[in-house]
Amino acid sequence: MSCKKQIFVCQYQSCLANGAAEVLATFLAGDLSDYEIVASGCQGQCNVGVTVRVLPDEIWYCRVKPEDVDAIALHHLEQGEPVQRLLHPRFHPSFDHACDSSAS
Ligand code: FES
């Protein structure tokens, strides 16, 4: 049984249209051998993709771009501090950031 943290990167339709393949490739290209990087199916957050979920932390990121991967790797995975500007408001409502699609 793996004890690695898992990083689920959605690879379904809406997220793919927003660059999910590039986000996944960036995670895979990084020095993240301590983590299991998973190409996932739809995670039900299609309107704010690319969706990235980190388990067992239960941290959900939204609108992730390839250029955000370094910040997630450094601040969250290495330092234990989730990247607040990318947190999904449905799961992390105390944070104020650009993913809130209800604001438009
Ligand atoms: S297509 Fe990615 S969350 Fe649904």
Can you tell me which atom of ligand 1 is nearest the CA of 14?
A: 1
Beginning with the edge strand found earlier in the chain, give each strand of the sheet holding 35-40 in spatial order: 35-40, 5-10, 52-55, 59-61
pTM metric for this prediction = 0.89
- Our count of domains for the chain comes to 1
3-state SS, residue 78: helix
* Cα of 63 from ligand 1 centre, angstroms: 11
* Cα of 13 from ligand 1 centre, angstroms: 7
Indicate whether residue 18 lines ligand 1 (CB < 6 A): no
* Cα of 74 from ligand 1 centre, angstroms: 24
**Both structure tokens of 41:** 């199916």
For residue 50, what is the domain's CATH number? 3.40.30.10
Q: What single-letter DSSP state applies at residue 61?
A: E
pLDDT tens for the chain, 104 residues long, are 557 899 999 999 999 999 999 999 999 999 898 999 999 999 999 999 999 999 999 999 999 999 999 999 999 999 999 999 999 999 998 765 556 555 44
- Domain range for 39: 5-103
